[in-house]
Amino acid sequence: MTEVARDLARARAMLGIKRYHEAAGLLSRLVAAEPTDSQAWCLLAQAHLGAGRHEEAAAAANRAVSLAPEDNWPHRLASATMLRLGNIPEAVRAAGEACRLAPHQWLCHLSLAQAALAQRNLIIAGQAAANARMLAPSEPEAHVISGKVSFACGDRAAARAFQEHALALSPTHSDALNELGRIELRTSGSAQAARHFVQAARAAPEVSVYRQNVQVVVRRVVTRVIYFTSIATFAFLYVTAANHPARVVVVIGLGTVALVSGVIAAVQLRRMPPEIRPLFRTRRVMGALAVAYAPILFAVLAAAVVPDFILPAVLLTAAAAMIAVRFAANAMLR
Amino acid sequence: MEAEQSVLDSLRKAVEAMPEDVPLRTHLATMLMSAGLRDEAVRQVGAILQRDPGNAAALALLTNQQHAPGRDQGLQPPPADQPPPADQPPPQDGPASQPDQAPGHDGAPRRPGDQLDSSFDWSKAESEVSNLLPPMFVTEGTPDADDDDDPAARAFDVEQSGLRLADVAGMVEVKQRLEAAFLAPMRNPELRRLYGKSLRGGLLMYGPPGCGKTFIARAVAGELGARFMSVSFADIIDMFVGQSERNLHELFGVARRNAPCVLFLDEVDALGQKRTQLRNTPMRSAVNQLLLELDDISSSNEGVFLLAATNHPWDVDSALRRPGRFDRTLLVLPPDEPAREAVFRHHLRQRPVAGIDLARLARQTDGYSGADIAHICETAAERALLDSVRLGSPRMIGQPDLEASVGEVRPSLGPWFETARNVALFANEGGAYDDLAAYLRKRRML
């Protein structure tokens, strides 16, 4: 084995275990010594991509393309770097070129599907995803991209089936779990979605977007709970304070609404996975609720003391309550 | 020319990403030198010598630079008070050293007529650098006097550690846990037999990078009076370029032959990464081989103590953490105040400093890793150096330099704690990361 071949093997091993910075260092030395080695430039682009240095990755990929224009790998790398840099048309073009060069290579179709999906060109994305799936039915990535395309097309049942298939092939595939969470958020509800997002975060703790998704779901549930209870309480107090003629009926009715909404909220929170509990700032809950309820008390007071100004007071209260509820939800969550 | 520029840019980025990689920096310095960018090359050489004062390649580059034609004058210190006598010839351009002229202490070739410094102890100097440079000539068939009989042992560097846990400043909790979980059973074989405590399994240390895991491993070897065999990330990678399984088997064989021996697997996540993440890579079969070797160690080998360290315990294959393998874990956190003070003292020890309040610096650097503190010291030295160049006379590194550097250097542990927070929140199955979660809660990060 020559020294260059040995260094390339070392770099591949480093990339295999995600040591991108170390691989980039080794490959930078290598391309300095062997500037016409397209494989080294490709690996360097891959290392920079992994390390999040997209500009450098693009430069290395372009160099590889110029050295080996008939090889599909540099074009795929160029597409991936363009996608990260937000140059979507160029990403689609590079992936298309890779497909032209190697139509039997599933990774080329995967690249094209990803780029076309980013461009919202769902027909091309769907075709490319189907090709990838056909060429590599045992690769979870091919099913994940198919699920993403189906979800973008609004076909949630198909999207769910694709993601479940991917998870059958690779049970801890974090991207598939995350996608399934997104689908559940639109269909089954927050608790199920949160469970999938938590699983994704567990599988890949280094990816911050999964934790952000968990937080989005939890914030959504908490906001909904505070809205429900605030509106019911406001109406209840208003009717009581304003001495409404049908007071007893309204009080019973609104009391029931408040109770039911409270029960729903409790059930929703209880169904959430236990891992989300540390996300709540329990010590701040009472303070946050007090802030959320302050406008309600103000409205009740306004209604009782100055009945003529009741409408402006209600409008003001509604606006203040909206802001306060958001603030309360944020304060309660980490 | 454009290609050369892009290569240089790539190298610069790589050096920025890995400031501690001395060979890479040396390569960059060489490239810069050949591209005629001497100022930058000298800066890189300075950085190399800060990390590795005896680096022969850097010294050679510096010597070449000092005698290269057309040397840039921009970064030279101003002339000293006494100008050189006018009758002395100017330094000659050309090669760094002549075969018949020993270089002076400043790296300049000696000229005929120069007086040799009779007080200089040449034999001591030779012995000091003897392990840095290989001998100039070797005779075929003559083994190196230092070589062990075991060729594999030479490949894997078996050494005797002189460090003790007492040399590790601060970190009392870590030491206590180390004593309870690892050292006490090792030191008391009678009690161990009485209680039926087996020596199966090793200890996995984890924590943020640059916080002293490797240092502690050496201290543990010293405490046990055992030899120390450290397998680093680079060794591991080299193992997998070729016959990985055989190399791994050989590694454990060397450890057994050198018992009592602490076998330390640094960055074990590289060697034992989750097999689900190793699809289509040669590393996958190596994990299986490592499992085999670990089981072999625990069943039949006395005197081989396993220690491992990782920054990413969540990437380590769960099979490696089962009972009998790396079943005990130890969280090594960023240095506490006494430890930080010791780290400052260590890094300032050989630098010209005056009026440094170490306790104050230690208080100001809560949350910094040992590596961050080293960087602070380096930044402070750089400030003083640049000032000296500007003023024309050297000055000491003072407290203001260090405090300004503390303001400049941000703790590098943020990304690690971000991931650790996710792990403590979502992946703390079976309480595996309870100590990490407790620390994060204490620091209000959870």
Give DSSP secondary structure letters for B340-383: HHHHHHHHHTTS-B-S--HHHHHHHTTT--HHHHHHHHHHHHHH
B413 pLDDT exceeds 70? yes
CATH number, domain containing residue B249: 3.40.50.300
Give B-chain residues touching A140 at CB under 8 angstroms: none
Q: Is B20 on the interface with A (CB under 8 A)?
A: no
Q: What is the mean pLDDT of residues B109-120?
A: 45
CB of A62 within 8 A of CB of A40? Answer: no
The reply to whether B277 touches chain A by the CB within 8 Å rule is yes
Are residues B237 and B270 located together in one domain of the fold? yes
Residue A232 belongs to a domain: yes
In a domain, B413, yes or no: no
CB pairs below 8 Å between A and B: how many? 112
B322 plus B364 within the same structural domain? no
Cα–Cα distance for residue pair A210/A195, rounded to 1 Å:
11
Chain B residue with minimum CA distance to A211: B422
Angstrom distance (rounded) from CA A196 to CA A171: 12
Whether residues B17 and A44 touch (CB distance < 8 A) is answered with no
C-beta separation of A113 from A129 below 8 A: yes
Based on the domain organization, do B243 and B187 belong to the same domain? yes
Alpha carbons B308 and B287: distance in angstroms, whole number: 14
- Residue B444 pLDDT greater than 90, yes or no: no
The number of C-alpha atoms within 13 Å of A39 and in the hemisphere containing its C-beta is 8
Within-domain flag for A263: yes
> How many domains does chain A fold into?
1
pLDDT given at position B376: 95
Chain A residues whose CB is inside 8 A of the B22 CB are none
Average pLDDT over residues A295-321: 62
Number of domains in chain B: 3
- Structure-token pair, residue A119: 């461009």
ipTM associated with this complex? 0.70
Distance separating alpha carbons of residues A127 and A137, to the nearest angstrom: 15
- Structural domain of B58: 2-62
B263 three-class SS: strand
Q: Are residues B267 and B372 in the same domain?
A: no
For B123-181, how does the pLDDT look when each residue is reduced to its tens digit (9 = 90+)?
Answer: 565 555 555 444 443 433 443 434 445 555 555 677 777 788 888 888 888 888 888 87
β pairing state of B304-310 and B203-206: parallel
Per residue in A249-263, pLDDT (tens digit) is 766 776 677 677 667
Domain that holds residue A308: 213-332
Measured between CB atoms, which of A1, A13, A35 is closest to B283?
A: A13
Whether the pLDDT of residue B75 is over 50: the answer is no
* Structure-model confidence comparison of residues A204 and B289, the more confident one: A204
**What pLDDT band is residue A318 in, cutting at 50, 70 and 90?**
low
**B358 at A interface, C-beta within 8 A:** no
Asked if the bond preceding B143 is cis, omega within 30° of 0, the reply is no
Kindly state the average pLDDT of the residues B436-441.
Answer: 91
Nearest to A78 by CA among A99, A57, A96: A57
What integer pLDDT is reported at residue A127 of this predicted model? Answer: 96
- Cβ of A31 and B426 within 8 Å? no
* Option in B21, B240, B278 nearest A25 (CB): B21
Q: Which of these, B358, B365, B159, lies nearest to B254 by C-alpha position?
A: B159
Give the tens place of pLDDT for each residue, A118-177. Answer: 999 999 999 999 999 999 999 999 999 999 999 999 999 999 999 999 999 988 899 999
* Residues of A engaging B, defined by a Cβ cutoff of 8 Å: 1, 6, 9-10, 12-14, 16-19, 21-22, 24-25, 28-29, 31-32, 35, 44, 51, 53, 56, 59-60, 63, 170, 172, 198, 201-202, 205-206, 208, 210-211, 214, 275, 278-279, 334
Q: CATH number of the domain at B41, please.
A: 1.25.40.10
Would you say residue B13 lies in a domain?
Answer: yes
Is residue A223 a part of any domain in this protein?
A: yes
DSSP classification of residue B142: -
Which amino acid is residue B385, in one-letter code?
L
Q: Which of B305, B331, B357 represents a domain boundary (last residue)?
A: B331
Q: Which chain A residue's Cα is nearest to B274? A: A17
Check if the beta carbon of residue B228 is closer than 8 Å to that of residue B218.
yes
Of B273, B424, B427, the CB nearest to A17: B273
Inter-CA distances, B152 with A180, B142, B266, B267, Å: 51, 18, 19, 21
* pLDDT value at B373 more than 90: yes
Q: Do A32 and B10 touch (CB under 8 A)?
A: yes
Nearest alpha carbon to residue A226 among A302, A327, A301, A298: A327
If asked whether residues B227 and B345 sit together in one domain, one would say: no
User: Are residues B231 and B310 part of one domain?
Assistant: yes
pLDDT higher than 60, residue B59 = yes
The pLDDT of residue B160 is: 77
Average pLDDT in the A69-74 region?
A: 95
> Does A47 fall in a domain?
no
Does residue A222 sit within a domain?
Answer: yes
Last residue of a domain, one of B36, B62, B88: B62
DSSP 8-state symbol, B335: P
Residue B177 lies in a domain: yes
Does the distance separating the beta carbons of B418 and A208 come in below 8 Å?
yes
**Domain check: are B281 and B394 in the same one?**
no
Same domain membership, residue B275 and residue B164 = yes
Q: What is the dihedral of CA B418, B420, B423, B428, to 10 degrees?
A: -150
- Chain segment B17-51, per-residue pLDDT in tens: 777 778 888 888 888 888 878 778 777 877 777 77
Is A78 part of a structural domain of the chain?
no
Distance CA(A1)–CA(B242), nearest Å, equals 9
Cβ of residue B27 closer than 8 Å to a chain A Cβ: yes
| Least trusted range by pLDDT, from A239-248, B127-136, B391-400 | B127-136
Position B374 confidence tier, pLDDT thresholds 50, 70, 90: very high
Q: Is B393's pLDDT higher than 50?
A: yes
| Residue B402 included in any domain | yes
* In chain A, % of residues over pLDDT 90: 49
Q: Decide if A82 is inside a domain.
A: no
Could you tell me if B238 and B282 lie in one domain?
yes
Residues of B in contact with A198 (CB under 8 A): 426
Give the Cα separation of A258 and A267 in Å (integer): 14
Q: Tell me the catalytic residues of B.
A: 429
**Mean pLDDT throughout A265-278?**
74
Report the alpha-carbon distance of residue B410 to residue B419 in Å, rounded: 18
B99 touches chain A (CB under 8 A): no
Q: Where is the domain boundary, B275, B305, B331? A: B331
**Domain annotation covers residue A71:** no
